[in-house]
Amino acid sequence: MKQIILTGDRPTGRLHLGHYVGSLKKRVELQDSGKFDEIYIMIADAQALTDNFENPAKVRENVIEVALDYLACGLDPDKVNIFVQSTVSALTELTFYYTNLVTLSRLQRNPTVKNEIKARGFEKSLPVGFVNYPISQAADITAFKANCVPVGEDQLPMIEQTREIVHSFNSIYDNILVEPEALIPDDISARLPGIDGKAKMSKSLGNCIYLSDSEEEIKQKVMQMYTDPNHLKVSDPGQVEGNVVFTYLDVFAKAEDFPKYLPDFASIDDLKNKYRQGGVGDVTIKLFLNNILQDFLRPIREKRQALSHNIGAVYDALAKGSAVAQQKANETLREVKKAMRLNYFTDDEFKKEIAEKYQ
């Protein structure tokens, strides 16, 4: 079986460190693993409109911002097809046919959608497009015959929904769709808390460090990070658990950072022990983390800046990826319509049958 990946993001804002740790890093590894025959990375503008339909300018603007973030992190348009969802019209057509295979109550049971409905105040008047988006996501995945969908845990209900659609399609019509598997990050370091200590870095919470943040913005955010509220004086014992600076250090600090930036400490364990005992100030650990994050983000930001000065090339890459995606999705749509007996003018057997019946 062909090894095919599809995944994507809604373009509702620039991407941040949480995206990097939770998905972008893994995508670049998968891209370079040589294990996949085709990789599609979708900028889900049509899905973004399901809860931003009144703000198309925001979605449009962020398509290019997300593309810049992708390329700056090392996704390579020569190896992966980065495409814009709305340019692949076969996806909407597939969505329409799949809606027959799903009940409204099934959609309303989706726990991720349930939470999102609450968060967006859609309880009283729920747009059909919004509650329908898991079906459209099934179209995204199946159009490319993707067997592997690298996503965060919150997307598991969408993959489950897709598998159900595939199952009923294949048993009712013909066995042509591929049942996908989710690929979920396996280590907890893939989930980065916000700088305020909230469980998730999220644009709406305003607790993000963006991949495109300037040196000053990064430093300001690090200095503002949530640590241990009871660690008031340097000499006080400090708590490491739940201390955002240490959570980030666990993810980003490398052995060589200690001699370089914090030579009084031998390792992360040494630093943690001494912080617990008392005598290590928050400013010390924050400046250390700042140095590390600056080193990490500088090349990404610089690459992003260089790309943004040649935005025509970025659009060309998206157009190229979109053309490949259109072709693949059209092929699947053709098969789907054939399986559903909707291929009136291309099915010779059907034409013969009709000619005989009505002669």
Contacting residues toward ligand TRP, per CB under 6 A: 6-10, 42, 44, 47, 137, 140-141, 149, 151, 155
Smallest gap from Cβ 139 to ligand TRP, in A, equals 9
Return the residue nearest ligand TRP (CB atom): 44
Smallest gap from Cβ 136 to ligand TRP, in A, equals 7
Evaluate whether 7 touches 149 at the Cβ level (below 8 Å).
Answer: yes
Look at the chain and count its residues. Answer: 359
Smallest gap from Cβ 130 to ligand TRP, in A, equals 12
Measure the CA–CA gap between 325 and 1, rounded to whole angstroms: 19
Smallest gap from Cβ 335 to ligand TRP, in A, equals 19
HSE-up of residue 118 (Cα within 13 Å, Cβ side): 5
Smallest gap from Cβ 79 to ligand TRP, in A, equals 19
Our CB check for ligand TRP shows the closer of 159 and 249 to be: 159
CA-closest candidate to residue 208, choices 9, 97, 217? 217
Report residue 242: phi and psi, to 5°.
Answer: 75, 0
Write out the E strands in 114-169: 148-150
Letter string b/e over residues 210-219, b meaning 16 or more CB atoms within 10 A of that residue's CB: bbbbeeeebb
Cβ-in-10-Å burial (0-12, 13-18, 19+) of 306 comes to: exposed
Our CB check for ligand TRP shows the closer of 95 and 155 to be: 155
Our CB check for ligand TRP shows the closer of 62 and 155 to be: 155
Smallest gap from Cβ 146 to ligand TRP, in A, equals 8
Gap between the terminal Cα atoms of the chain? 44
Smallest gap from Cβ 149 to ligand TRP, in A, equals 5
Give Cα separations from 302 to 28, 54, 232 (angstroms): 18, 33, 37
DSSP string of 131-143?
HTHHHHHHHHHHH
Residues ≥6 apart with Cβ < 8 Å to 332: 90, 94, 142, 143, 144, 145, 176
Smallest gap from Cβ 12 to ligand TRP, in A, equals 9
Measure the CA–CA gap between 33 and 43, rounded to whole angstroms: 22
- 3-state SS assignment for residue 330: helix
Q: Which residue has the tokens 């740790």?
A: 21
Smallest gap from Cβ 345 to ligand TRP, in A, equals 31
Sheet holding 4-9, edge to edge: 81-84, 38-43, 4-9, 148-150, 181-183
Torsional class of 30: left (φ above 0), alpha (ψ -120 to 50), beta (otherwise): alpha
Our CB check for ligand TRP shows the closer of 10 and 301 to be: 10
